[in-house]
Amino acid sequence: MRSQGIKDFYVKRLVRIYPLYLIAVVLFFICKENNGITSIKSLFFVSMLYGPAPRTLWFITMIMLFYLMVPFLLSLQKTSKLYSI
């Protein structure tokens, strides 16, 4: 995170993860594993917050939520004397 900006961090992760995730969600919809609402929630990464989450794809949503938390946790670590090294 220090050598790159937050925007670059998110773009790299999104470009690496989202295309294959999109294909998987579409295939789940075609195979009737997900209904339309679950698929749309999955594509916007809100299925973990407003379920149901798609089976076997829920972890991608969790990874993206954790990536969203990274800048906040890093700034918290910088300002907190308790966890500072």
User: Tell me: the pLDDT tens digits for 14-27?
Assistant: 898 889 988 988 88
Angle at 55 between CA 54 and CA 60, to 5 degrees: 65
Is the pLDDT at 8 greater than 80? The verdict is: yes
User: How many CA atoms lie less than 13 Å away from 60 in the CB half-sphere?
Assistant: 22
Please give the structure tokens belonging to residue 4: 């790159």
Q: 36-54, pLDDT tens digit by residue? A: 878 878 878 777 777 777 7
Rounded CA gap, 30 and 24, in Å? Answer: 10
Rounded CA gap, 45 and 47, in Å? Answer: 6
Task: Answer whether 39's CB lies under 8 Å from 29's CB.
Answer: yes
Which pTM does this prediction carry? 0.68
Mean pLDDT of 50-73: 80
